[in-house]
Amino acid sequence: MKVLIIGADGQVGRELRETAPLGMEVTAVGHGTLDITNAPALRQMVLEFQPQILINAAAYTAVDKAEQEREIAFTVNAEGPAHLAVLAQENRIRFVHLSTDFIFDGQQSRPYRPEAPPNPLGVYGASKQAGEQRVREILGQEALIVRTAWVYSAFGHNFVKTMLRLMRERDTLNVVADQVGTPTWAKGLASALWKMVELRLTGTHHWTDAGVASWYDFAQAIQEEGLNRGLLLHPVALHPIPTTLYPTPAQRPAFSVLDKTDTWQALGYTADHWRVALCKMLQRVGRHG
Ligand SMILES: NC(=O)c1ccc[n+]([C@@H]2O[C@H](COP(=O)([O-])OP(=O)(O)OC[C@H]3O[C@@H](n4cnc5c(N)ncnc54)[C@H](OP(=O)(O)O)[C@@H]3O)[C@@H](O)[C@H]2O)c1
């Protein structure tokens, strides 16, 4: 199977490269090589590599900056996937696209099922929802769209790495405690994506690690596990605060938990609990510095 991964230098792209199963002939291109908004360059790349599977891990993910950069966010997150979907349709390539919990408004108190109505709170979520829509308009149910949430990895910028840095620099930290979701290790997500490819899943699926946490719970766990592993030398005082005390340009969903029941059933396995996955990731950070 020839697979072309676009956005291959991001958190999920890197883990997709690392976890590619035997038998997958992977070509991975990052932002430096290929801009998803450049339709002729995408076409050239597809003609050159002739993949059977196209995975889009590229996205404009700067949630707060997107409030000021609406046009760029929509060009990358909606037009880019649309270009890829057209190429997939024309060349009979299977298309895998990633999306986000931020398409929901977080007003539910039960996990969001894939068919729940979207209602994004900010520009990033709206641009990702538009991307989903464009892909569905072009490929119908043939595309595989996988929504995930709260992604972290040993690669790139994310909450875990930011917390470890701040915990080394400061004595106290305030962390938002009234937004809940599920921290998700990109490596587990990447392995699940490969399994979905192998099983030829299509339609809209949800994947995160198992369980639920607030950002404050997540920070507590990072501190405890960081201290256990010698990644942190001293504890810092962590204070739970409401979102109102940490205003950001983009509003975030208060309840961001995705219902993964159908996906787990289709895959035949359940994700690790988020804390188990966090320990595995920290072991890796410990090994690689
Ligand atoms: N991170 C999360 O918490 C999260 C949560 C829910 C869903 N998701 C979704 O999961 C997917 C992967 O996210 P991630 O965490 O791996 O994000 P990431 O680490 O920010 O990676 C995204 C990659 O896309 C690249 N990119 C940006 N604009 C591009 C363009 N015009 N052309 C080509 N590549 C471009 C970025 O390159 P530069 O760094 O050079 O800009 C980066 O390498 C995305 O669809 C995202 O929406 C992520």
Phi, psi angles (nearest 5°) of residue 271: -65, 155
User: Do 154 and 284 contact (CB within 8 A), yes or no?
Assistant: yes
Please give the number of the atom of ligand 1 that sits closest to the Cα of 98.
45
User: Do 96 and 53 contact (CB within 8 A), yes or no?
Assistant: yes
What is the rounded CA–CA span in Å between residue 89 and residue 281? 37
246 has catalytic annotation: no
Give me the tens of pLDDT residue by residue for the chain, a chain 289 residues long: 999 999 999 999 999 999 999 999 999 999 999 999 999 999 999 999 999 999 999 999 999 999 999 999 999 999 999 999 999 999 999 999 999 999 999 999 999 999 999 999 999 999 999 999 999 999 999 999 999 999 999 988 899 999 999 999 999 999 999 999 999 999 999 999 999 999 999 999 999 999 999 999 999 999 999 999 999 999 999 999 999 999 999 999 999 999 999 999 999 999 999 999 999 999 987 655 4
Find out if CATH 3.40.50.300 is the number for domain 2-153+184-209+257-271.
no
| pTM for this predicted structure | 0.96
Q: Ligand 1 pocket, 125 CB below 6 A?
A: no
What is the 7 CA–ligand 1 centroid distance (Å)? 7
In a mutational test of the pocket of ligand 1, which residue from 9, 12, 64 has the highest number of ligand atoms less than 8 Å from its CB? Answer: 12
Please give the number of the atom of ligand 1 that sits closest to the Cα of 151.
3
